Each structure stands twice: as C-alpha cells, then as structure tokens.
C-alpha cells in the first residue's frame, strides 16, 4: 500500500513538473510563410521559377533556394558554391544570407543552395524582389534577380 502511494505521488510530481515546464518554455518562433516562390533571371545562365524556404531560431534565420528551372552548368561538388542571397527589408535596407552549403550536382541538375545563414529582427518583413542571389563557382559569379514579388508574399519573422 505504501508503495502505491509513493508511486502515485511520484506520478503527480512528474506531471506537475511537466506542466510547469510547458508553462515556462519559450514560444516557438516561426516565419510566415515558410516557403515562397519567385521567378528568377540569371542572365546567360538561365532562369525560371525557384522556391525559397525559410526557417527561424531566435534572431538566426536560414534560407534555402531550390529551382528545377535553373540548372547547374557543370558538375559541382558538395559545398562548392559560395552564395549570398540578399533580401529587401520592408522598413528599408537589406538582409544578407550567406554560406557555402549545396549538395553535389551533375551538369544539368536542378540548382539548390543553402541553408544560407542570416540574422533577422522580430517583425522583419523580407522580400526577394529588389534583392539578388550571387553564386560564385570556380571564380565565376552568377547573379540572379527576382523578376517580380515573391508569392504568396514576403517572409515575416517573429
């Protein structure tokens, strides 16, 4: 009987601690929308539709770009593209997301860069239109620009 009371008491204490932990846990931060689509022009390197995916952890944010319309001009090794994606802040100025993350790609494969890291402020509203993506591959810089606003709208960070 005594063991049952100790077991029940321990269960109640564990439950109370779990509820307390939830009450004091920080709220999960989110960026909305999580994905957006742009149409990009990369000059003589092509262009077309691309998808941007954003994540946020506090003031740290990442963006990844995927495009089946923009393809690798030659075979590229993993983490061989130095990329900077610059987005326009609705309140003025720009925010840059940079990195050298990319999967290995064969010539003609869809381009993927990221996650590219940047710093955001609560309430930042960031748009690709008016910004650019610069990718440097073997010393050659490829610049892509959005031809119109991203859809469904700008990224808004908590």
Per-residue pLDDT of 109-147, as tens digits, reads 999 999 999 999 999 999 999 999 999 999 999 999 999
Of the pLDDT bands very low, low, confident and very high (cuts 50, 70, 90), residue 12 is: very low
Angstrom distance (rounded) from CA 156 to CA 122? 8
Of 26-40, 99-113, 138-152, which range is least confident?
Answer: 26-40
When pLDDT is averaged across residues 65-89 and rounded to a whole number, the result is: 94
User: pLDDT: is 87 or 25 the higher one?
Assistant: 87
User: pLDDT: is 46 or 22 the higher one?
Assistant: 46
Angstrom distance (rounded) from CA 141 to CA 31? 30
When pLDDT is averaged across residues 47-65 and rounded to a whole number, the result is: 97
> DSSP E strands: which ranges in 42-154?
47-57, 60-71, 82-89, 94-99, 110-119, 125-137, 140-146
- Other Cβ atoms closer than 10 A to 74: 11
Indicate the pTM of the whole model: 0.80
Does residue 18 surpass a pLDDT of 60?
A: no
Mean pLDDT of the chain: 85
Q: What domains appear along the chain, each with residue ranges and CATH number?
A: 31-148 (2.60.40)
Of the pLDDT bands very low, low, confident and very high (cuts 50, 70, 90), residue 156 is: very high
Of 6-15, 31-40, 49-58, 143-152, which range is least confident?
Answer: 6-15
pLDDT for res 29: 65
Of the pLDDT bands very low, low, confident and very high (cuts 50, 70, 90), residue 17 is: very low
List beta partners, residue 35.
Answer: 53
| C-alpha separations of 153 from 6, 33, 90, 126, 148 in Å | 56, 7, 12, 9, 11
Q: Which residues contact 45 (CB under 8 A, 6 or more apart)?
A: 70, 73, 142, 144
């Amino acid at each position: 009987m005594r063991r049952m009371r100790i077991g029940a008491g321990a269960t109640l204490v564990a439950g109370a601690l779990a509820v307390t932990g939830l009450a004091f846990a920080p709220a999960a931060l989110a960026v909305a929308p999580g994905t957006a689509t742009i149409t990009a022009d990369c000059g003589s390197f092509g262009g077309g539709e691309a998808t941007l995916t954003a994540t946020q952890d506090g003031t740290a944010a990442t963006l990844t770009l995927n495009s089946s319309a923009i393809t690798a001009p030659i075979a590229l090794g993993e983490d061989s593209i130095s990329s900077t994606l610059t987005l326009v802040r609705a309140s003025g100025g720009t925010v840059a997301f940079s990195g050298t993350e990319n999967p290995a790609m064969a010539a003609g494969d869809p381009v993927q860069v990221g996650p590219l890291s940047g710093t955001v402020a609560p309430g930042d509203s960031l748009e690709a239109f008016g910004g650019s993506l610069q990718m440097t591959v073997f010393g050659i810089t490829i610049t892509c620009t959005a031809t119109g606003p991203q859809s469904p709208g700008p990224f808004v960070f908590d």
